[in-house]
Structure 1
Amino acid sequence: MERIKCRLGLANGLIVPYVGRKGGLAMLWAREVDLEIKSYSQNHIDAVISDTERNFKWRLTGGDDRIYLRLDRAFANLEWCEKFGDMRVHHLPDSTSDHCAFLVSASVTQRQSRAKRFHFEAMWVKNAECKSIIKNSWGMDSDLGTLEGVMANLNRCAAELLKWSSNVFGQIPKKIQTKRIELNSLTLQDKDGALSTKINSLRKEINDLLDDEEIYWGQRAKAH
């Protein structure tokens, strides 16, 4: 949940911890939102939001009291829809849960795209190939004695690292989900322990990916 909080850049939140392998709820909100928690339990969180611009208060309640039923939907009455016609509910799938988190936010107007700033990912240094990528791409056909040459090297090195990262790491949450499905399938097939070596190897791969994911979002949390 902390990863989702960092990913969305939300400052405030109430997290109800899970018990054993069941339950667990969270409500996160931006710093500028006037939200008051009224009550909470293992099965629900109830809050009131005050909107001073519209001179309107509304109730936000979330929960799950049927663990066998997935209701990944949001409901609102007509009065709320009329006052907040620009609001949308977005599903945020996460590799650590079979439920989706909800993001309630205003419709985002399309903005002109701009180039993303390059970030050196801390998780790259865990891979021995990272050093080779930098070594092979640095100093190629560029004069390091000039500012233009140094900038050309930096840009080329960044491009090579991003291309390498895309091939090696790819979409980490999707990889985690795919490997968890594979692990579940192998576990069900392993009646006599013959697949234990493969299962343990797959578990290690998943744990390594989870570590990479934690490093990835931890680095972005520090940046904010």
Structure 2
Amino acid sequence: MKILCWNCRGIGNPATVRELKQMLVANDPDIVFLCETKINANKFSSVRSRCKMEGCLAVNANGKSGGLVMMWKESNKVEVQTYSNNHINSIIKLENDNLIRFTGFYGNAKPNKRQCSWNMLRRVGQSVTEKWIIGGDFNAILDNAEKEGGRRKPSALMEDFREVVDELSMADLKTNNGWFTWVNNRDGTALVKERLDRFLMSANDVARFPFMETKVIRQSTSDHDAIILDTEGRKLRDRHRDPRLCFKYNVCWARDVEAKKIIKEAWQKGSTDIMGKIEMVGKKLGGWQYKKLKQMRTQMGTLQAHINKVIDSQGVRMRVISSKP
């Protein structure tokens, strides 16, 4: 199961919708939780349709702020229990009818109202008997290691957050890549980065998901990065067929000099039958594509690791977008 959470900072922007669709294609999540959609629920149906999600519950924005959405692939797999301006609480049916509780959460941005958000989580926790995952933008940090730049957070606010995490017996799930998930995009000494977005899981259940993986997904249209949790992320996939035999033509190969050479040589050799030639081209390109894609994935992984290192290093400003108030 994959769960994606993102503070999109307004879903009405076409560029934001495009970025969301790209994330869904690249990561294929089963559940999507969005906060700060900044639109009314009745205007979200077109976005859900474009994202090709069967199920959806949207909570109205409050004027030009707030607004929550939970979407899911299969309509019969998710049952929403409760919702408010700060959360959407659901039960997800897994394989073998196993149940897991997922609460999409948006912590109040105003420190003097933060306690109301924690109390809401406490109320949800009173009815939880299943494995429990909470994910979203908590608008809070657990300690000063989750903040760089700006004024230090009041100790009382961090203590309140730690207290509710302990009281609910939740474990903070560290991401496998990256650290900070929000940046204010200012220059010099005014630059601030914080780890506001995260997943929590019932501490007693973490060991039951040995292959679990959480990641930060870097964004360009929001000052928040998205986060994704995959309960089977580090599990080795079974491969029944040789991937070199599974060639799929991509139009970009037509511009590749090496691919052109392989096609030409394969076409000129062997069978004179058209279908035989096509089969030979596919066979030759299958091995080439396997090697090419493996190289590309390695290069992308290296670049992503470098990007994460740069973003999480001190005094670096990466994105130029509106800052969070």
| TM-score, normalised by the number of residues in structure 1 | 0.52
Write the deviation string for residues 11-30 of structure 1: whole angstroms up to 9, x where unpaired: 663422478xxx99875544
Contact 2:212 / 2:234 at 8 angstroms: preserved in 1? no
Cα distance in 2 for residues equivalent to 1:118 and 1:92: 29
User: Match of 2:218, SS?
Assistant: coil
Match of 2:262 in 1: 137
Deviation at 1:10, TM superposition (A): 4.1
| Structure 1 runs not aligned, ≥5 long | 189-202, 204-224
CA spacing shift, 1:100–1:73, aligned 2, 3 Å: same
The code of the aligned residue for 1:142 comes to: K
Q: Does 1:114 align with 2:241?
A: yes
Cα distance in 2 for residues equivalent to 1:36 and 1:106: 25
CA spacing shift, 1:49–1:121, aligned 2, 3 Å: same
Q: Does 1:46 align with 2:88?
A: yes
Q: Does 1:94 align with 2:217?
A: yes
| Structure 2 runs not aligned, ≥5 long | 1-19, 39-65, 104-133, 141-181, 183-193, 320-325
Deviation at 1:98, TM superposition (A): 5.3
| TM-score, normalised by the number of residues in structure 2 | 0.39
CA spacing shift, 1:167–1:90, aligned 2, 3 Å: closer
CA spacing shift, 1:111–1:56, aligned 2, 3 Å: closer
User: Match of 1:159, SS?
Assistant: helix
The code of the aligned residue for 2:280 comes to: A
User: Match of 2:217, SS?
Assistant: coil
Deviation at 1:50, TM superposition (A): 5.6
Cα distance in 2 for residues equivalent to 1:113 and 1:75: 33
Cα distance in 2 for residues equivalent to 1:7 and 1:172: 13
Deviation at 1:111, TM superposition (A): 3.4
Contact 1:95 / 1:173 at 8 angstroms: preserved in 2? no
CA spacing shift, 1:172–1:54, aligned 2, 3 Å: closer
User: Which of the residues 23, 34, 49 maps onto 2:78?
Assistant: 34
Number of matched pairs: 177
Write the deviation string for residues 78-130 of structure 1: whole angstroms up to 9, x where unpaired: 5xx49x946863213423365642124699686354233323334555xx4x1
CA spacing shift, 1:135–1:4, aligned 2, 3 Å: closer
- Report percent identity of matched pairs: 10
Cα distance in 2 for residues equivalent to 1:122 and 1:166: 18
The code of the aligned residue for 1:119 comes to: K
User: Match of 2:230, SS?
Assistant: strand
Contact 1:86 / 1:106 at 8 angstroms: preserved in 2? no
Match of 1:65 in 2: 139
Q: Superposed, which structure 2 residues align to 1:161-200 within 5 Å?
A: 161-164=289-292, 166-167=294-295, 170-172=298-300, 174-176=302-304, 178=306
Contact 1:5 / 1:28 at 8 angstroms: preserved in 2? no
Match of 2:200 in 1: 74
User: Match of 2:200, SS?
Assistant: coil
User: Match of 1:111, SS?
Assistant: coil
